[in-house]
Amino acid sequence: MTIIAIADEVRAALAAGRGVVALESTILSHGLPSGRNRKVAERLEAVVREAGAVPATIAVLDGKIRVGLDERQLDRLCAADSGLVKLSKRDLGPAIAMNQDGATTVASTAAIAHAAGIGVFGTGGLGGVHLPLPGKHSSWDVSADLDALAETPVLVVSSGVKSVLDIEATLELLETRSVPVIGYQTDHFPGFYLRESAYALSWRVDTPKQAADVVHAHWQVPGQAGILLANPIPPEYEMDRELHDQLLADGVKLLDERGVQGRDVTPVLLEHFHTASSGVSLDANEALVVANVTLAAQIAADLAER
């Protein structure tokens, strides 16, 4: 049985050496409200094509991993009653065996993209090390995204990690796993809704060509790690820092009151941001993922020319 089904357009682009950009599906099925998610799905695929590459949205549907979705499949993915579950890399086998439809996270999307021969992936924010909840000294909750990036030679373009996470610990772990973190037109690691965190970066590029140069060289050195290209949110969509910090503080209290733990922490915090900010964070989320996917497509097109 063929577990990975690659859409004809994606397969043809790969065979012809054209640029292809992997797109995750969790941001559509779980990160954005119904209706808006379908419009964003169209917008993301459109900006990839405008940059000269081919989009490959990834999900698990009808017992198979789908690399590249048609209009009907995108409709299913974005439907309010889709019933799709979040699938990290560890969940792929059980989901396929049990015929469970699901949306892929950064970890599973990166792994699938590499298996399909796709080397560039555009997303919103990477998972990371969670902040300790009130009353706890530390957190053992670490996203599988980090290990996937350390083990999978794929370029991931994101606006850093979600700002509800422990950025310092996340960067330390990436350094330990030998994952290069490159700032795009910035010397500081982005904070998702914020353009800059307090943490400086060792490397910076300022054009898609420079980024492609780094990727091309990295793929020729020993090792299997991917690359994280950290692209700040467009300045006009950056959240007010005071509002951001207040939302985060209130969100952490909410987690403590509800006893939320594990994989439910980030979705609950992000939903709190969306609700309490009166939609400001939703606009920010859309703007940053569009910017990241556009940049990923420009880099993919440049790499294809080589």
Residues classed as catalytic: 24, 162
- Residues paired with 86 in a beta bridge: 103
Take residue 116 and report the two structure tokens written for it.
Answer: 């399909």
17 backbone dihedrals φ, ψ, rounded to 5°: 75, 20
**Going by C-beta distance under 8 Å and a sequence separation of 6 or more, which residues neighbour residue 46?**
none
Residue of 164, 154, 156, 171 lying closest to 117 (CA atoms)? 154
| Cβ–Cβ under 8 Å, residues 229 and 155 | yes
Q: Please, is 287 exposed, middle or buried when counting C-beta atoms within 10 Å of its C-beta (0-12, 13-18, 19+)? A: middle
What amino acid occupies position 37? N
For residue 190, what are its two tokens?
A: 């982005």
- Distance of alpha carbon 97 from its chain centroid, rounded? 25
Calculate the CA 31 to chain-centre distance: 11
Residue 89, C-beta contacts closer than 8 angstroms, at least 6 positions apart: 105, 107, 108, 111, 144, 148
Q: Is the dihedral of CA 219, 60, 42, 162 positive or negative?
A: negative
Q: What are the structure tokens assigned to 30, written together?
A: 């779980």
The span from the CA of 277 to the CA of 282, in Å, is 9
